[in-house]
Amino acid sequence: MTETPRHNPIKAERFLSELKASLEPAKGTYIYDACIRDSLEKTSPEDSSGYVEWLRQLLTMLARKDNLAGRKTLDVGCGTGALTVLMKLLGFDAMGIDVHRQHVELAKILADENSLSPGMFVCNQGNKLPFPDGSFDIVTMISVLEHLDDATLAALIPELARVCKGLLFVQAPNSASLRDDHTGLLFVPWMPRWLARAYVAGRGRRYRYCISASAGWDVHYRNFDQVVSRFKPYFDFSLSPPECCYPQTPFEYPPARIGKRLRLSNRELFIGVPLPWRQFRISRGYPKEAYHPYLNLIFRPKTVRDREN
């Protein structure tokens, strides 16, 4: 049986040109390469990364899971808009919102290039989402959570519960990951934030996270427990099905020890440090999804009565 060829409906020639121009000051850094690569993957006509197919499966699953009558969708932290435009082209009534004005302007260029209204993108820098209660069937936050400090996240979560009448999908890098996707550096997600910031700064311009508002490393890693517990007062939680997780990385438990194996006289000797916390977490019944490099989580808003209880 011949596999149906993948197809990405998005048009992005002008958008990619404007994006590269806007990122020119960051050229030569890891994040420049990562941003360009990410945008090319999301706008590739052949959908070589499988991103469009994943998004189609995810949105369809969310709509069916809650028997949603509508397809009104809000993409929170939409960035330069490729995800939101794809949602629209896949048949969902999508809007995007972001705090970065330059990103929103690029998103509007992409919308216009695809014969969509630039008004589908909103720049908002306040603590309140500018939408009425229960405005959206689906709300998404994809690769956004890690850019919010605890105070900002605490203010945003009640707003997400207020505007979402269906389901909220959250994807965020896991602090159990070995590598930081924003710099490409190993073990950064495991470090205390003060140490991670100092380490990234000490590695020089190549690893400078210069696209953030502060031009500094603004990433806040959280683990499975920390993410779920922050949403728990306002949302009930469930795991995304494996086929709707992105990226499609095999589930792997974190290493039980760090060190080196030496072979002496046909015997193997391990020199290193054990990591007992892994076994402790497994013994508590953690799902394997808690160790995925990216957390893919589904939240349903609680009723006011449930919140009070």
pLDDT at 280 over 80: no
What does the alpha-carbon distance between residue 165 and residue 167 come to, in Å, rounded to a whole number? 7
pLDDT tens-digit readout, 206-240:
998 876 666 667 899 999 999 999 999 999 999 99
Mean pLDDT of the 8-37 span: 95
Residue in 230, 248, 255, 263 with CA at minimum distance from that of residue 294: 248
pLDDT averaged over every residue in the chain: 87
Split at pLDDT 50, 70, 90, the class of 259 is low
Decide if 227 contacts 172 (C-beta within 8 A). Answer: yes
Buried b (16+ CB within 10 A) or exposed e, 151-179: eebeebbebbbbbbbbbbbbbbbbbbbee
The pLDDT of residue 94 is 98
Position 3 scores a pLDDT of 44
In this prediction the pTM is: 0.88
Q: Are 166 and 72 in contact (CB under 8 A)?
A: no
Average pLDDT over residues 60-71: 83
Residue 227, burial from CB neighbour count under 10 angstroms (0-12, 13-18, 19+): buried
Asked which of 124-133, 175-184, 185-194, 285-294 is least confident by mean pLDDT, the reply is: 285-294
Domains defined for the chain, CATH in brackets: 13-249+292-308 (3.40.50.150), 254-287 (no CATH)
Question: What is the model's pLDDT at position 30?
Answer: 93
Burial track 53-85 (b if 16+ CB lie within 10 A, e otherwise): ebbbbbbebbbebeebeebbbbbbbbbbbbbbb
**Amino acid 67: pLDDT:** 75
pLDDT tens string 142-160: 999 999 999 999 999 999 9
Entry field: residues in the chain: 309
Pick from 231, 191, 199: nearest CA to 216:
199
